[in-house]
Amino acid sequence: MVSRSEREMMELIISVAAKYPGILSVLQDGSRSNPNVKKDIFQDYDIIYVVDSLTPFIQDHSWIDVFGQRMILQMPEDMELYPPSPELKDAFSYLIQFMDGNRIDLVLVPVEKLDFFTSDSLCQVLWDKKGLFLDRPLPAPSDKSYIVRQPSSRSFSDCCNEFWYTNSGLAKGLWRGETTLIMELFHQVIHEALRQMMDWYIGCKHGFAVNPGKFGKNYQQYLESKIYDKWLATYPDADLNNIWNAVYLTMTLFRETAMYVAARLGYEYPVAEDSAVTAFMQHVQQLPKDAAQIY
């Protein structure tokens, strides 16, 4: 099967909109609107159809068959276990992966709810049948909405607290050898706090004027190579010894980046908590498995 080209996909998206009187405008956001993203064959088509009413489009979902042969479809608003984020509650989404490799993330938005969706700096008008944007043109698309922002002193302190407090709790899981719990807690909480600090570190290094990317996908572009290598080394396999090593690497990298952020922004780094938790982790690591007490 030959993949449809960008031109073919865009012509299809606009022609489908033109076919239905209830579709008033077509907008695009996401990576295809981002001038700072290099184009590649796996970019999704993040499309918004502005509609006068959702009802005629969601009563019978077969109308989306016109977009092509589907591999799989997801409709978050029609799901129980994985519902959409609250800000999408007034919209309806068709997330469509096609057999030819293309993907359209299509969101139907009632015209009265348009302001929220056009607040994204990547949003741009592709087609405007009813002239909705004649008197309120959107600015040129940019990734301004995704630029890392300088944290407040409170946010910085909260991130440090989350990181060190959760590490202190991780110690007992490591001592017990509860590998699944350890890996989930490490990745979902500790590594997330580190990633937040890494974003702020990049912000400090680049004047809070760059986008670190979703889940740090642009880190290699903005971090010094030695820092980026340390970041990659914080991803362990499920071997307990390797997890312990990754935990210590994570603590070292967090300390290094957080102290830099604190110095640049005039904030206070929690040296006492860092030292106490680090010493506790080292103590727990050497505790025998049949220990009768912690100390």
Q: Where are the domains of the chain?
A: 6-146, 153-285
Q: What pLDDT does residue 141 have?
A: 93
Instruction: Calculate mean pLDDT across residues 4-31.
Output: 97
For residue 89, name the pLDDT band (cuts at 50, 70, 90): confident
The pLDDT of residue 86 = 82
153-285: CATH number: 1.20.120.330
> Residue 275: pLDDT above 90?
yes
Q: In the CATH scheme, what is the code of domain 6-146?
A: 3.30.460.10
DSSP string, 180-214: HHHHHHIIIIIHHHHHHHHHHHHHHHTTT-S---G
Encode pLDDT of 175-201 as tens digits. 999 999 999 999 999 999 999 999 999
Q: What is the mean pLDDT of residues 114-134?
A: 93
240-258: per-residue pLDDT in tens? 999 999 999 999 999 999 9
Band the pLDDT of 116: cuts 50, 70, 90. confident
pLDDT confidence band for 107 (50 / 70 / 90): very high
How many angstroms separate the CA atoms of 93 and 105, rounded? 7
Residue 122 CA to residue 139 CA, distance in Å, equals 9
Beta bridge partners of 5: none
Quick: pLDDT tens for 135-166. Answer: 889 999 999 999 999 999 999 999 999 999 99
- Phi then psi for residue 187, to 5 deg, are -80, -40
Q: What is the rounded average pLDDT for all residues in the chain?
A: 96
Strand order across the 70-74 sheet:
70-74, 92-98, 103-110, 45-51, 23-29, 124-128
For the cut 80, the answer to whether the pLDDT of residue 87 exceeds it is no
Q: What is the mean pLDDT of residues 5-29?
A: 97
Residue among 104, 81, 78 at smallest CA distance from 89 = 78
- pLDDT tens digit sequence for 51-61: 999 999 999 99
Which amino acid, residue 262? A
Question: CA 99 to CA 68: how far, in whole Å?
Answer: 8
Beta-sheet pairing, 103-110 with 45-51: parallel
